[in-house]
A and B are shown apart, each in its own frame.
Chain A
Amino acid sequence: MNWSKTKTIFIICFLLLNIFLAYEFYQRQSEELTMDSPTQDITQTKNNVKIDTEIPKTPENVTFIIGEQQSFVKNDKNDLIDSLKSLQDTKDYSAQTIKVTNNGRTIEGTFEHPVDIPKQNKNYQQIIQKLIYKGNEYTYSSTDKDGNLHFIQVFDSTPVYIKDHNGFTFLNLKVKNHQIISYTQRYFVFTKTNKVDIINATGAYDNLIQNNILSGYKKNITLKKINLAYFNSIGNVDQNDTMVFFPTWHMQVKTEKDTHHYFVNAVSSEVQTLGNGE
């Protein structure tokens, strides 16, 4: 018996066997990784998001609301409604000239004496309550790149957002040299309608993650705020239709470069954005 030849044959056999076994072992590990991947992406995104706010409880008796734009004029002669007339006739620092446009549904006010902007955002509220018609029903929303201040309307302590291709704003204060010089305003009359079952805030947040909305941002993602709001469905603000607003979870997400606003429809779970870089 040639022991040397036998060893060579055994070496070749075991070499082939080991290649086969190594391949099998690799296959098993790959299967595990494949099984892991779908949820891992979601979990990874979820782990990347820091939640820097309290998740609110779902309020009871949530309803749809409908809204119609109020006309600021009394008749065909475009006479201002009394509240605006008295605002226009004021002789103090809030004296202003009010012009009506858009079939009486928009007013443009110009202050005779530009008003200084308060240093803190929270003081904006005091200013607009004094200067603006039904100013207490608006709340600060954002400041654009030109320094103009944008406000949204509030109904039943819930902010209302409108998505409009023309960049609709409820109240826009024009700022020049740190002073408010003029403003544009629209006002909606809202009414509660039927009750509706809504998803909770956690469900809305999970939905945002599952839709891979945040997967494009790799790090430093922070959920800064989550609150219930109203958001319009399809509709054109300029057609003077009755507009329907859905209860919606509004999420403010801060990334490395920017702050993003996402709206998860609390009835249909659909994710929407304002689409105007608000």
Chain B
Amino acid sequence: MTKEAFKSIFLTVLVLLSITLTFSIWFYQTDYESITPPNTTTVSIAESKNIHDVIKPYLAVNYRGHQILGQDSAESVSKLYELFQKGQYTNVSTDVKKNLPSRGQNPSYEIVFPAPLTIDTLKRLFTFNDNFIVRNNLYVDRIEVFQSNGNQGKVTAVFRSQNDSAVFYASVNRMSTKQLSDAITSENLRQYLRQSLSHEKHVYLPIDKTKVNSERVFYRTLDLKRYISVLYKDPDSVSSTKNAVYSDGGSQLEENPGNVLHYIKFNPGINKNKNNQDSVIYRSYEFINGYKGWTNSFVYDEFEPSKKHSQDGEAGFRIQLGNYLIYNTDYLGRYLPTVKLNWKSGQLTELYSTLIDMDPIYSKTTYELEGANEVIVELVSKHIQPSKLEDIKIGYNLSNVTDSNSDQIELTPGWFYKQNGQWYPVFTDEKNSINRRGFE
């Protein structure tokens, strides 16, 4: 009898315990107040930027009779660009054979972008009062403003393509050439030569020598892992290999030699967003802005539209320092000073992005770079025909940072030319006439 009573009591205790445990598990709540919330994974790398600070001209040109005067000071070009932005563009006409003002009668002012712009991008940069359509394959990389009858008459802006031919023109309100003249004038204004390159692209090159300082910069490397939450909708589905290659099965993220991020999507599939009429240029800007990816002072400098679909292609952004862009002439390091995006079927299929963030420390040595004629002579002497080149520019050379065992690198100025999508130095180092002035 005693044993049975004990079994009954024990069974009751067990039943009560099971009820209590079930209740505890069922209604178990974490005491979130006692837990310090972990840092939220923010999809942001550096900073976002206004479109006008990324897509901007690098040169201002003033036509005075037969003279071509150019201004490459970033400050002056920026002032001129602001005036172009303030203008209101009306009465847009694509009939460029009629009523087009010609150079020579009155001075004209032109801003030149590093790469061609699509019409939708132009509409985001400038204020157009009319809606207009231009054939898809026409792009604008320079805008020239004329004023008839001195400072009193009508102001007309001609939007030109790389080969200098007009794509469309418009009347401009709220702008006068007097303002443009004031903005462009400074000690840097000097004579330029107009040189024709591949596909009749016209570039402007300074005739006289150009003095540019080399720059000592501090750089830090960015962690590739920070880009996982940027490039993958579900970062938890991303696994990594021993070689730090990240993949979710459909795409791959890795660090190429020399601090360059490389992301590739294997099968983009069909375009899910056919209504997206934004060009590759604007979409690329928006994409980088979306994760605040402007780690350096980037400038839009490359556009290669797809031949199959107008909404696909490549767009690139390059780091600018002072008045000039930065180039790496080594094939493996060519993406080091850039962010380059490739779009297919309306989706990002490939991305190259620098993983270094630079801060200029001080100007070091003054270099005197050759004038336009010497550049052309040098190219021809190397059997390089300018008519086969895509571009010629002054810039800074960024050597591969893996070559340096310090956290500082020196950017040296020089002339560069672009051929088959790759930049090369015009002069070898010993040919650059160096005028060592020391630090001032």
Asked whether, in the complex, the Cβ of A8 is within 8 Å of the Cβ of B7, the reply is yes
B268 in the interface (beta carbon within 8 A) = no
B interface, over-half SS? mixed
Asked whether, in the complex, the Cβ of B407 is within 8 Å of the Cβ of A21, the reply is no
Give every chain A residue within 8 A of B362 (Cβ-Cβ): 64, 66, 191, 193-194, 244
Asked whether, in the complex, the Cβ of A244 is within 8 Å of the Cβ of B408, the reply is yes
State A193–B359 Cα separation when bound (angstroms).
Answer: 11
Give every chain B residue within 8 A of A7 (Cβ-Cβ): 4, 7-8, 11
Asked whether, in the complex, the Cβ of B361 is within 8 Å of the Cβ of A193, the reply is yes
Known contacts A8-B7, A233-B218; is A35 also within 8 Å of B406 by CB?
Answer: no
- Quick one: which of B31, B362, B405 has the most chain A CB within 10 A? B362
Task: Report A12 CB to chain B, min CB distance, Å.
Answer: 10
What are 30 A-to-B residue pairs whose CB atoms are below 8 Å? A4-B7, A7-B7, A7-B8, A7-B11, A8-B7, A11-B7, A14-B14, A14-B18, A17-B18, A18-B14, A24-B21, A24-B25, A25-B24, A25-B28, A38-B38, A40-B35, A66-B361, A191-B439, A193-B361, A193-B362, A194-B360, A233-B218, A233-B407, A234-B406, A244-B216, A244-B361, A244-B408, A267-B220, A267-B359, A268-B407
Question: Using an 8 Å CB-CB cutoff, how does the interface string of B112-143 with A read, 1 for contact, 0 for none?
Answer: 00000000000000000000000000000000
* Beta-carbon contacts under 8 Å, B8-42 to A: 8, 10-11, 14-15, 17-18, 21-22, 24-25, 28, 30-31, 34-38
Size category of the A interface is 35 or more
Task: Report A9 CB to chain B, min CB distance, Å.
Answer: 10
Q: Which of A4, A35, A242, A246 contacts B218 (CB 8 A)?
A: A246
A interface, over-half SS? helix
Please count how many residues in chain B sit with their CB below 8 Å of the partner chain's CB atoms: 34
A10 in the interface (beta carbon within 8 A) = yes
Give every chain A residue within 8 A of B407 (Cβ-Cβ): 233-234, 268
State A82–B114 Cα separation when bound (angstroms).
Answer: 56
- Which residue of the partner chain A has the closest CB to B407? A233
* Beta-carbon contacts under 8 Å, A176-218 to B: 191, 193-194, 196
State A138–B340 Cα separation when bound (angstroms).
Answer: 50
State A125–B35 Cα separation when bound (angstroms).
Answer: 50
State A8–B7 Cα separation when bound (angstroms).
Answer: 7
- Which residue of the partner chain B has the closest CB to A64? B361
Give every chain B residue within 8 A of A42 (Cβ-Cβ): 36
* Beta-carbon contacts under 8 Å, B401-420 to A: 405-408
Asked whether, in the complex, the Cβ of A233 is within 8 Å of the Cβ of B25, the reply is no
Question: Using an 8 Å CB-CB cutoff, how does the interface string of B382-418 with A read, 1 for contact, 0 for none?
Answer: 0000000000000000000000011110000000000
A43 in the interface (beta carbon within 8 A) = yes
State A42–B35 Cα separation when bound (angstroms).
Answer: 12
Q: Which of A4, A15, A194 contacts B359 (CB 8 A)?
A: A194
Question: Using an 8 Å CB-CB cutoff, how does the interface string of A206-232 with B read, 1 for contact, 0 for none?
Answer: 000000000000000000000000000
Task: Report B407 CB to chain A, min CB distance, Å.
Answer: 6
State A52–B201 Cα separation when bound (angstroms).
Answer: 66
* Beta-carbon contacts under 8 Å, B340-366 to A: 359-363
Asked whether, in the complex, the Cβ of A21 is within 8 Å of the Cβ of B408, the reply is no
Give every chain A residue within 8 A of B31 (Cβ-Cβ): 32
State A28–B38 Cα separation when bound (angstroms).
Answer: 19
Beyond the given A32-B30, A39-B35, A234-B406, please list 7 additional residue pairs across the A-B interface where CB-CB is below 8 A.
A7-B8, A7-B11, A14-B18, A39-B38, A66-B361, A194-B360, A244-B218
State A14–B216 Cα separation when bound (angstroms).
Answer: 76
State A168–B98 Cα separation when bound (angstroms).
Answer: 76
State A22–B35 Cα separation when bound (angstroms).
Answer: 24
- Shortest 3 CB-CB distances between A and B: which pairs? A193-B362, A21-B21, A14-B14
Asked whether, in the complex, the Cβ of A11 is within 8 Å of the Cβ of B10, the reply is yes
Asked whether, in the complex, the Cβ of A36 is within 8 Å of the Cβ of B361, the reply is no
Q: Which of A22, A39, A40 contacts B21 (CB 8 A)?
A: A22
Task: Report B213 CB to chain A, min CB distance, Å.
Answer: 12
Known contacts A11-B11, A32-B30, A40-B36; is A18 also within 8 Å of B361 by CB?
Answer: no
Q: Which of A15, A25, A191 contacts B25 (CB 8 A)?
A: A25
Question: Using an 8 Å CB-CB cutoff, how does the interface string of B219-246 with A read, 1 for contact, 0 for none?
Answer: 0100000000000000000000000000
Task: Report B19 CB to chain A, min CB distance, Å.
Answer: 10
Asked whether, in the complex, the Cβ of B18 is within 8 Å of the Cβ of A18, the reply is yes
Asked whether, in the complex, the Cβ of B11 is within 8 Å of the Cβ of A36, the reply is no
Q: Which of B34, B359, B405, B439 contacts A66 (CB 8 A)?
A: B439
- Quick one: which of B15, B38, B407 has the most chain A CB within 10 A? B407
Task: Report A7 CB to chain B, min CB distance, Å.
Answer: 5
Give every chain A residue within 8 A of B439 (Cβ-Cβ): 66, 191, 242
Q: Which of A14, A24, A233 contacts B15 (CB 8 A)?
A: A14
- Which residue of the partner chain A has the closest CB to B10? A11
State A40–B34 Cα separation when bound (angstroms).
Answer: 10
Give every chain A residue within 8 A of B359 (Cβ-Cβ): 64, 194, 196, 267
Give every chain B residue within 8 A of A15 (Cβ-Cβ): 14
Give every chain B residue within 8 A of A35 (Cβ-Cβ): 30, 35
Give every chain A residue within 8 A of B406 (Cβ-Cβ): 233-234
Task: Report B167 CB to chain A, min CB distance, Å.
Answer: 40
Asked whether, in the complex, the Cβ of A10 is within 8 Å of the Cβ of B38, the reply is no
* Beta-carbon contacts under 8 Å, A222-256 to B: 233-234, 242, 244, 246
Task: Report B11 CB to chain A, min CB distance, Å.
Answer: 5
State A40–B220 Cα separation when bound (angstroms).
Answer: 29
